[in-house]
Each structure stands twice: as C-alpha cells, then as structure tokens.
Amino acid sequence: MLDLEEVIVNGRKTHEIIGLCQTYSIDEIDRLSLDKIDETEIFDYVEKEKDIDEMIKDNSTSRRLVKVYQPQIDKPEKCISLIQILINRNINYLICYLRSSDINKYTSDLTFLAKMAKKIKNCKLIVFRGSTHEYVED
C-alpha cells in the first residue's frame, strides 16, 4: 500500500509518495517508447541520450556502466540522478534513480528511458523514484 502524504513543496501544497520501484519488461518498453516526450524536457533528455550513447560505445567490454548527475546550485535540479546499465548479459538492464518525480512529467521521463532501453539489445528497465509528487490546487 502506498502512503500518500500532504506536504508543502516550494510554497505549494502537494501530495507526495515516498519510495517507488517499478520494473518494465521488453514488451512494455516497446509500447512505452512510442509515447510522446514533453517538449519542455527535450534539452535535458538530449544531454542524457548523448551520455548513454557514449557509455555504451566507450565501454563495450564492461558489464557495468554508471553515470551520476550531481545537482548544480546555479541550475534547476532535474529528476534523473543516476543511470546504470548492466550489459553483455542474457538479459540487459537499464536502471535509473529519480531523486524526485513530478507525476505530470513522469510519463515523459519513462518514455525517454524506454527509448534508451530500446537501444540496448534484450533490455529491461528498472526505475527507482525517491519521491513522487503532485501539486494540488488550494
């Protein structure tokens, strides 16, 4: 059962769920990758896609690839904090940790991650979310 808590975030009332983990099969990834990505998030996704492409290309002999995204004081924080790819296995995995997720943008994050998982042969997707929130009208 999920614990829904009402909290104030950035001066706004929100509903928040702490700690979620979901695993997506290869078939689910195929379906999810067809969804539309939120245009306001494109720049961040383009940077991360380049990182993922480089990780795979530059480390083709490794079985574990990790990219950590540190928050920067002068920029708004993005949700995707860590991407780990486990490759050269029977089943490969793209594992992602989102420090926080706006429920209205999660579909876009998930679509992006599914598109990246499709680049990896025979890949499942695992997504951990530290918290998920939805802004509530007062």
Q: Strands, E, within the chain: which ranges?
A: 4-9, 12-24, 64-68, 80-86, 92-98, 101-102, 123-135
What pLDDT band is residue 74 in, cutting at 50, 70 and 90?
low
pLDDT > 70 fraction of the chain, expressed in percent and rounded: 91
Helix locations, the chain, DSSP H: 26-32, 42-58, 106-118
Q: How confident is the model at residue 1 (pLDDT cuts 50, 70, 90)?
A: low
Please state the domain count of the chain. 1
Could you list the residue range(s) of the whole structural domain that residue 86 is in? 4-135
Higher local confidence (pLDDT), 67 or 123? 123
pTM: 0.85
Cβ atoms of residues 80 and 69 within 8 Å = yes
> Residue 47 is encoded by which pair of tokens?
């940077």
**pLDDT greater than 70 at residue 13:** yes
List b or e across 64-75, with b for residues whose CB sees 16 or more CB atoms inside 10 angstroms: ebebebeeeeee
CATH code, domain with 123: 3.30.572.10
